[in-house]
Structure 1
Amino acid sequence: MSATPVAALDLGDLGFGRGAHLLVQRALAGLPPGGRLAVSGRDPALRVHLPAWCRGRGHRVEWPDRGEANELVAVVVRGSADDDRWFGAERAGPALPSALSSRPPARWGLGARGALLEAGGPEARFDLDDRDLVWADIAPHLYAQAAARQWDPQTAVPWDDPFALPADVEAAVVQVMTYLVENEQAALVVPARFVGRIHPHFREVVQLLAVQMADEARHMEVFSRRALLRGAEMGTSSAGGRQSLFTLVAESDFALASFLLSVLGEGSFVDLLSFLHEFAPDPVTRRICWLAMQDERRHVVFGMAHLEHQAQSDPLLRDRLRAAIHRRHDSLVDTAGLNADVFDALVVLAAGGWHPDDVSAGFDRVQALQHAMDQGRQRRLVRLGFRADEAAALSALHTRNFM
């Protein structure tokens, strides 16, 4: 004699084609393996659909009674599968970032981390599928911080604040803004080249890089807008500067691109933005440089954390970083480096006047900026494991174009 069912479910006229399986699934979820559920209903296709659905999920159906006229009564015996097993699926991986897979398989594809994965489907290929190649433990925190600190270019900047600058000072601002736009365009393109190559299992890194791209897009907007704010045309763009930036865009290795862009380039860029914030001749320039500086600091933090993480598992990483610096230096050795118009514009802004003593002081301040950039690069190189003397030598090889 069959055991007595411990639960009952009346489907009424609802059939599996209109959602009856949701009610059956919910009722079974509350039963232990071997638990029994009496299912009744009047849908004529229930006799076919119920056992088919149960077979796919490891449950058994018994037919102890035909029930009343036009009503089906069956008993579903819960199988031994986990409560959350759907479609014969298996867990794709742990749901918590602290339990990331070190090498997620291609068959996980675009499946959400921790989701139950139906068998079959495409095997999407993401070549950056090794945790040690892309991860940093700080990535989830940085993404949350970045998302919370997004700012609106229209409302965060005092575009309408009144100010008037001498024509030559305004021209210096325009030239520097033109240079900043070029650098930010490169800083957007570099992560854009890698986002589609990173396995979605490492979603916090993908999200962080996506926000980083949004940061750079905003910077391009506000720097362009400031350049054109008083009706001037954009400044000059040097061939050497563009070639220097192109070496960043052309780098196909994620670690090396992060190193050259974030650790060396954007690290120096933070110093430049701090300098411009200090010597900005108007409130709009001061504000946009401060806002961009906060974003760029976050980019540098991730670049450093990512490379420090990778260095723990790859003893040859420093050799590759060293070679990347030499390779970039050799490719740019015949270029002019920093646009002379940009250097002169920085001197004008730092001088704050046209007396010879003012210009001399402005020149000294720009040289102090370059020294601060060099010292910052050295500190970051030492953090990555280079000796102090080698860090100094490698920093000296960094492009004169700052980024």
Structure 2
Amino acid sequence: MTVPALDLGDVGFDRGAHLLLRRELALLPVGGRLAVAGTDEALVVHLAAWCRREGHELLPGDERDGRVRAWVVRGRAGQDRWAGAERAGGSSPAGLIARPPAHWGLAARGALVESGGPAVPYDFDRKETVWSELAPKLYLQAVARQWDPVAAVAWDTPFELPAEIEAAVVQVMTYLVENEQAALVIPARLLARVHPHFREVTQLLAVQAADEARHVEVFTRRATLKGDELGTSSVGGRASLMSLLAEPDFSLASFLLSVLGEGSFLNLLSFLDRYAPDPVTRRIVTLAHQDEARHVAFGIAHLEEQARADPAFRGTLRGAIERRHDALADTAGINADVLDALTVLAAGEWSPAAIARGHAAVQVLQAEMLDGRRNRLVRLGFPADEAADLAALHTRNFM
């Protein structure tokens, strides 16, 4: 029987010889021999070290022809190099398990994970804590609907507004920037704490953070389109947003931010679309609305699945609303300058009748926000009367 041979020529282990060896040995059964020839001076020394590490046996070669330097006997360890290894979630990248172990770390889902190595702990490592069956679809949708602030908005569209109307736009944009900065930080913080096994969730959170960064950019750019000064930032508004940042739990942070806060912002953005005094403002709030609707959709889908699996979870959500309400009870709520600016935008002019109409429109907006929160709470399984009571406890800062 002819013994297989591998002639490496002058290629040593410093130039990839191990790849050729591993390929040839993979063709042999355990105990099979491979003659190794080559002219590299360090070949035998390096071959001996490699065989020890790979679990093969090395036998002295026959130097009579000046080429066979050694014989390698394939060992079982070489065949079972990945013995004891496990797939990260199964044989397919689509596979998911309920609680991936910490030692999988950053391994790709579906990869063969070598045994050993450091454990990388993640705060959110349970499927029910972060997952939604809608997450993969929403991620693909989010990627497809990204937009470029430069190309998507005609910033050079000519328009001139009365000074008071422009000032109202600037104040509202200042308020939006402040809130969107909080909405940027929260998903950015959460995604770093999610086990990478749930990659669609981390990808979706990353895109959500990118969405909010883009919103901060366009709202700032609109605020400074006609001048350099921004509006005001109230203590009550900042306190309300800080209470969001203080929530460490994934589901509760998603609930307070996406379902209640950003859900209310959908109404606000629709209001601004309706009463926008210029085409640039109307365009940016329309673009922001499509992004925020996706954020709300993920929050609702995730929490609906949790509430179905554990009816007691609604008590946790109720507690989060009540704690935040109590923490903000002594604050002033939304910046009065923002309410006045919204009134001016809805009025469009300074006549008493117009201002009265603008004030009424803002009251309708707040009622729509309340109804929206109530409806979303009903979707999560709350009885209608309890949902109405909890919706009314939401921060007066809208977000």
Do both proteins adopt the same fold according to a TM-score greater than 0.5, normalized to the shorter chain? yes
| 3-state SS in 2 of match to 1:336 | coil
CA distance in 1, matches of 2:354, 2:48: 89
CA distance in 1, matches of 2:125, 2:369: 34
Which residue, 235, 243, 250 being the options, matches 1:247? 243
1:113 aligns with 2:109: yes
Shift of residue 365, structure 1, vs aligned partner: 2.3
8 A Cα contact 2:179 2:241, kept in partner: yes
CA distance in 1, matches of 2:224, 2:92: 47
1:278 aligns with 2:274: yes
Partner of 2:37: 40
Which residue, 171, 175, 185 being the options, matches 1:179? 175
Gaps in structure 2 of 5+ consecutive residues: none
Deviations 1:135-182 (A, max 9, x none): 122222322322333222222211111000001110110110011011
1:265 aligns with 2:265: no
CA distance in 2, matches of 1:380, 1:67: 84
Shift of residue 33, structure 1, vs aligned partner: 6.3
Which residue, 14, 23, 29 being the options, matches 1:17? 14
Partner of 1:128: 124
Alpha-carbon distance change, 141 to 393 in structure 1, aligned in 2, over 3 angstroms: same
Which has the larger displacement, 368-377 or 29-38? 29-38
8 A Cα contact 1:106 1:123, kept in partner: yes
8 A Cα contact 2:171 2:230, kept in partner: yes
* Alignment-mate amino acid for residue 368 of structure 1: V
* Alignment-mate amino acid for residue 264 of structure 1: L
Which residue, 161, 167, 180 being the options, matches 2:163? 167
Deviations 1:73-122 (A, max 9, x none): 53553748778x56985544436454223222222223333333344433
Which residue, 195, 198, 210 being the options, matches 2:191? 195
| 3-state SS in 2 of match to 1:72 | strand
8 A Cα contact 1:184 1:216, kept in partner: yes
TM-score (norm 1): 0.89
* Alignment-mate amino acid for residue 384 of structure 1: L
Partner of 1:158: 154
Deviations 1:316-350 (A, max 9, x none): 32111000111111122222222222112112212
Shift of residue 401, structure 1, vs aligned partner: 1.2
Partner of 1:50: 47
Partner of 1:401: 397
| 3-state SS in 1 of match to 2:382 | coil
Partner of 1:322: 318
Partner of 2:226: 230
8 A Cα contact 2:131 2:302, kept in partner: yes
* Alignment-mate amino acid for residue 20 of structure 1: A
Alpha-carbon distance change, 117 to 398 in structure 1, aligned in 2, over 3 angstroms: same
Deviations 1:206-250 (A, max 9, x none): 222122111111111111111111115111212111111111011
Partner of 1:68: 65
Gaps in structure 1 of 5+ consecutive residues: none
8 A Cα contact 2:325 2:394, kept in partner: yes
Partner of 1:138: 134
CA distance in 1, matches of 2:202, 2:249: 16
Deviations 1:285-338 (A, max 9, x none): 111111111111111111112222333444432111000111111122222222
Partner of 2:371: 375
CA distance in 1, matches of 2:376, 2:23: 55
CA distance in 2, matches of 1:276, 1:402: 14
Which has the larger displacement, 277-286 or 120-129? 120-129
CA distance in 2, matches of 1:257, 1:77: 56
Which residue, 375, 381, 392 being the options, matches 1:385? 381
Alpha-carbon distance change, 16 to 86 in structure 1, aligned in 2, over 3 angstroms: farther
CA distance in 2, matches of 1:248, 1:390: 22
8 A Cα contact 1:57 1:87, kept in partner: no
1:214 aligns with 2:210: yes
8 A Cα contact 1:57 1:86, kept in partner: no
CA RMSD of the aligned region, Å? 2.7
CA distance in 2, matches of 1:127, 1:329: 26
* Alignment-mate amino acid for residue 119 of structure 2: E
| 3-state SS in 1 of match to 2:232 | coil
CA distance in 2, matches of 1:301, 1:52: 57
- The count of corresponding residues between Structure 1 and Structure 2 is 399
Alpha-carbon distance change, 70 to 34 in structure 1, aligned in 2, over 3 angstroms: closer
CA distance in 2, matches of 1:27, 1:359: 85
CA distance in 2, matches of 1:97, 1:366: 49
Alpha-carbon distance change, 29 to 176 in structure 1, aligned in 2, over 3 angstroms: farther
8 A Cα contact 2:44 2:70, kept in partner: no
CA distance in 1, matches of 2:223, 2:101: 48
CA distance in 2, matches of 1:138, 1:37: 53
Which residue, 142, 145, 148 being the options, matches 1:149? 145
| 3-state SS in 1 of match to 2:65 | coil
* Alignment-mate amino acid for residue 143 of structure 2: A
